[in-house]
């Protein structure tokens, strides 16, 4: 990423991410990829601004921790280690009334020298003053490393617009080496993560959070500390640098709307906007003081990122006290003393932009996400991308997933819920059918038992009552009685044979049959009164299908008998056969009395009958139901028994798979 040969300044803690996409939204360069339900930082795209670290409530993004390396340096007696303390420290270590205690604590860690980076800022400010005074190009300040990386990687055409001036950190490191020798080791301590990759002129970079960890680990607390001042050279106004407009104050420039030619802004959105406008040539001859964070005092390396204004006030309080205490003559002398120090900086184009995918491909992805018309582009930003178009591009580049689109996911959820409702309904009706089938199965077992026991004695009764009847003289009054016994015994046999049928209906003997002919034949075993008209219609091209003939005949005779019995005053019995590709539908309808609403649900229940005693058994329809189910078919009923609602009648609809 930077020049310090460190690319992985921000990494992901796998498993912690709850995919809220806040990091995607806050990442100025979209260096986040959603992999296996986790938002992962792509180090080869990252500019180290640390926004993702700041915004991740789950702490799933962490900055590279170098405190062990720093400890190793400090423990090596042969190495002279110099701390370079960033000017934002008063905003972090607000618990100290006197900064000297804090400096003493840093010294206690083992640093040989503790220097103020703000003196580097004093030197840099002087360079800025010279440059901004004489130049007539747009300048982008280069003291924020995230801004520098952003330009180098994503707007490389603008690298000549970066102020060719070293950052305060690099400036003070050069001063330190000038003062204490080239072989010293420098450790920058500040609020910034991008600094870890900024420059190979600095050996190590610690955040304030890491510094606190070191204090804790080494049991360094203010009570046991001997307060001390910073090592020379002490700074002046450079201490204001970590505030937005801090640089401006230093170079005594104004961002007055009429007078000034300075634009000062902070935050990833504003800095991107400003740089884009420079690139598009929309602003000319302006100097941009940009910060990626909301000022360094809100940097991701601060242990607490709240209370912006309190932090601001702490800096200003510190600077005020400092300036009162400042030996201005000595400070001026110091600034002059280091005039020889080279404060130049160079930048290189390191383009990391990706080629945009073909528009047609983007449109395809948008369509998949349900964005067909302009009005479907809600650009709600819930996915983390500014526009639906940007999101679709990221999907094609492999960084994002379609399901990150919230409106699309909600729409899909609605569909799933609808499907689930339909499935639930189906499940309910299957449950009911299952219950019914269970009832029938129990009925079957019971029937088999009863039928078996009754069949033989009934045979004997029938045989002997017939013999008695034949032996009696026609004029004998007893002959009539015997005839009654024969008739009732026959009726009992019919019921028993019905029950036996019921018991036997768990096996099918299928054979290829012409269904229409079978229906015609079924009518031959039914007595059709003259006042009833029967019609059979079929549109089947191929009436042949595999069914159990014997059982299916029973289905139709039962339905036909019921229909006829429902039309004592005459009417029409229509049987209509229609064919679909994979099933045949048979409708048996009559113009009879119809079935009342309350009886409709009981039709297929064994022994349910509305017919008078001696006429109905209530076995017919359960038998029909069982046979149809055995054929993997379906039977439903439509009926109207209320003449006020239209013509009365009943229609049984059977569907049989081919
Ligand atoms: P059963 O005919 O012996 O009564 P079913 O099981 O065949 O036994 O029929 C049960 C009941 O369903 C009948 O008693 C009758 O009330 C009603 N039913 C069946 N078919 C019709 C129909 N086509 N029209 C009116 N009611 C019918």
Nearest CA to ligand 1 atom 23: 563
Instruction: Check: CB of residue 111 under 8 Å from CB of residue 237.
Output: no
> Is the minimum distance from the CB of 592 to ligand 1 under 6 angstroms?
yes
Residue having the nearest C-alpha atom to atom 18 of ligand 1: 562
pLDDT at 257: 47
How far, in Å, CA of 235 to CA of 118, rounded? Answer: 6
Q: Helices 145-154 & 268-279, crossing angle to 10 degrees?
A: 40
Please provide the CATH number assigned to the domain covering 506-658.
3.30.565.10
Q: 595 in ligand 1 pocket by Cβ < 6 Å?
A: yes
Using a 10 angstrom Cβ sphere, with 0-12 exposed, 13-18 middle and 19 or more buried, the burial of residue 100 is middle
Rounded to the nearest angstrom, the distance between the alpha carbon of 588 and the centre of ligand 1 is 13
Q: Which residues pair with 204 in a beta bridge?
A: 187
Predicted TM-score (pTM) of the model is 0.67
Contacts of 334 (CB under 8 A, 6+ apart): 119, 232, 233, 234
Q: Of all atoms in ligand 1, which is nearest to the CA of residue 617?
A: 3
Among 462, 547, 463, 558, CA closest to 501: 558
Averages of pLDDT over runs of 10 residues in the chain (658 residues) are 70 90 93 89 94 93 95 96 96 91 97 96 86 75 93 95 95 96 97 95 96 96 92 83 61 53 78 90 80 88 89 90 86 88 94 93 95 92 93 95 91 93 92 79 72 81 90 88 86 76 69 93 90 94 90 92 95 93 93 94 86 80 87 93 94 94
Question: 572 - beta bridge partners?
Answer: 533
C-alpha span between 38 and 18 (Å, rounded): 7
Classify domain 1-64 at the CATH class level: alpha beta
Q: How far is the CA of 489 from the centre of ligand 1 (A)?
A: 23
Angle between helices 67-75 and 208-217 (to 10 degrees): 50
Ligand 1 within 6 A of 566 CB?
A: yes
Q: Is 623 in the pocket of ligand 1 (CB under 6 A)?
A: no
Whether the CB of 387 sits within 6 Å of ligand 1: no
Q: Ligand 1 centroid vs 610 CA: distance in angstroms?
A: 7
Count of helix runs (H) and strand runs (E) in the chain = 21, 18
d(CA 529, CA 566) in angstroms, rounded, equals 12
Residue 207 sits at φ, ψ, to 5 deg, of -90, 165
Closest ligand 1 atom, CA of 608?
A: 10
**CA-CA distance, 340 to 311, in Å (whole number)?**
35
Assigned fold of 405-505: Helix Hairpins (1.10.287)
User: Is the beta carbon of 651 within 6 A of some atom in ligand 1?
Assistant: no
Contact, 186 vs 176, CB < 8 A?
Answer: yes
Residues 109 and 502: their CA atoms lie apart, in Å, by 95
Question: DSSP letters along 70-128, please?
Answer: HHHHHH-TT--EEEEE-TTHHHH-TT-SSHHHHHHHHHHTT-SEEEEHHHHHHHHHHHH
Q: How far is the CA of 556 from the centre of ligand 1 (A)?
A: 13
Q: Which residue CA neighbors atom 20 of ligand 1 most closely?
A: 562
**Does the C-beta of 590 come closer than 6 Å to ligand 1?**
yes
The residue to which tokens 């059709």 are assigned: 528
CA 329 to chain centre: 63
The answer to whether the CB of 394 falls within 8 A of the CB of 400 is: yes
Nearest ligand 1 atom to the CA of 611 is 14
Judge if the beta carbon of residue 620 lies within 6 A of ligand 1. Answer: yes
558 lines ligand 1 (CB under 6 A): yes
* Amino acid 342: pLDDT: 94
Every domain of the chain and the residues it spans:
1-64, 65-337, 359-404, 405-505, 506-658
CB-based contact 248:254 (threshold 8 Å)? yes
């Amino acid at each position: 990423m930077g020049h310090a040969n460190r690319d992985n300044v921000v990494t992901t803690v796998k498993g912690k991410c709850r995919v809220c996409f806040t990091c995607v939204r806050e990442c100025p360069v979209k260096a986040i990829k959603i992999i296996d339900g986790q938002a992962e930082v792509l180090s080869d795209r990252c500019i180290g601004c640390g926004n993702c670290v700041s915004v991740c409530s789950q702490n799933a993004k962490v900055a590279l921790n170098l405190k062990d390396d720093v400890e190793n340096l400090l423990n090596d007696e042969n190495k002279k280690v110099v701390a370079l303390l960033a000017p934002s420290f008063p905003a972090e270590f607000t618990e100290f009334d006197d900064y000297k205690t804090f400096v003493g604590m840093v010294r206690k860690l083992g640093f040989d020298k503790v220097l103020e980076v703000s003196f580097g800022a004093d030197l840099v400010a002087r360079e800025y003053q010279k440059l901004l005074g004489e130049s007539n190009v747009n300048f982008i300040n280069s003291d924020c490393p995230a801004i520098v990386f952003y330009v180098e990687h994503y707007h490389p055409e603008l690298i000549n617009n970066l102020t060719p001036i070293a950052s305060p950190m690099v400036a003070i490191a050069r001063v330190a080496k000038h003062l204490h020798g080239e072989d010293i080791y420098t450790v920058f301590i500040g609020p910034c993560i991008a600094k870890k990759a900024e420059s190979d002129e600095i050996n190590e970079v610690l955040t304030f959070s890491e510094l606190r960890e070191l204090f804790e680990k080494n049991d360094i607390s203010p009570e046991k500390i001997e307060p001390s001042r910073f090592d020379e050279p002490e700074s002046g106004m450079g201490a204001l640098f970590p505030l937005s407009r801090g640089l401006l104050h230093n170079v005594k420039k104004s961002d007055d709307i009429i007078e000034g030619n300075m634009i000062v802004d902070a935050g990833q959105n504003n800095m991107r906007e400003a740089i884009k406008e420079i690139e598009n040539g929309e602003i000319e001859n302006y100097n941009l003081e940009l910060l990626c964070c909301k000022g360094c005092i809100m940097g991701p390396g601060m242990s607490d990122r709240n209370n912006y204004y309190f932090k601001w006030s702490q800096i200003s309080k510190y600077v005020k006290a400092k300036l009162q205490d400042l030996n201005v003559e000595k400070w001026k002398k110091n600034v002059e003393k280091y005039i020889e120090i080279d404060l130049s900086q160079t930048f290189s184009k390191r383009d990391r932009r990706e080629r945009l995918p073909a528009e047609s491909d983007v449109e395809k992805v948008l369509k998949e996400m349900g964005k067909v018309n302009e009005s479907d582009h809600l650009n709600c930003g819930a996915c983390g991308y500014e526009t639906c178009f940007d999101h679709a591009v990221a999907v094609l580049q492999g960084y994002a997933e379609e399901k990150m689109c919230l409106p699309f996911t909600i729409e899909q959820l609605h569909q799933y819920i609808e499907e689930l409702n339909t499935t639930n309904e189906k499940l309910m009706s299957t449950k009911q059918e299952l219950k019914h089938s269970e009832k029938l199965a129990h009925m079957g077992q019971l029937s088999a038992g009863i039928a078996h026991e009754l069949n033989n004695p009934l045979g004997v009764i029938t045989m002997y009552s017939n013999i008695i009847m034949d032996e009696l003289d026609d004029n004998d009054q007893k002959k009539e009685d015997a005839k009654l016994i024969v008739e009732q015994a026959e009726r009992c046999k019919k019921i028993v044979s019905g029950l036996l049928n019921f018991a036997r209906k768990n096996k099918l003997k299928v054979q290829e049959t012409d269904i229409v002919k079978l229906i015609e034949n079924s009518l031959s075993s039914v007595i059709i009164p003259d006042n009833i008209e029967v019609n059979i219609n079929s549109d089947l091209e191929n009436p042949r299908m595999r069914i159990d003939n014997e059982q299916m005949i029973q289905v139709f005779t039962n339905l036909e008998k019921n229909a006829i019995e429902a039309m004592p005053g005459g009417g029409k019995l229509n049987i209509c056969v229609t064919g679909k590709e994979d099933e045949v539908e048979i409708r048996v309808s009559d113009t009879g009395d119809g079935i009342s609403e309350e009886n409709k649900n009981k039709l297929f229940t064994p022994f349910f009958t509305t017919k008078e005693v001696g006429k109905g058994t209530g076995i017919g329809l359960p038998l029909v139901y069982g046979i149809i189910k055995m054929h993997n078919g379906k039977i439903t009923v439509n009926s109207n028994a209320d003449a006020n609602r239209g013509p009365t009648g009943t229609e049984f609809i059977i569907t049989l798979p081919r």
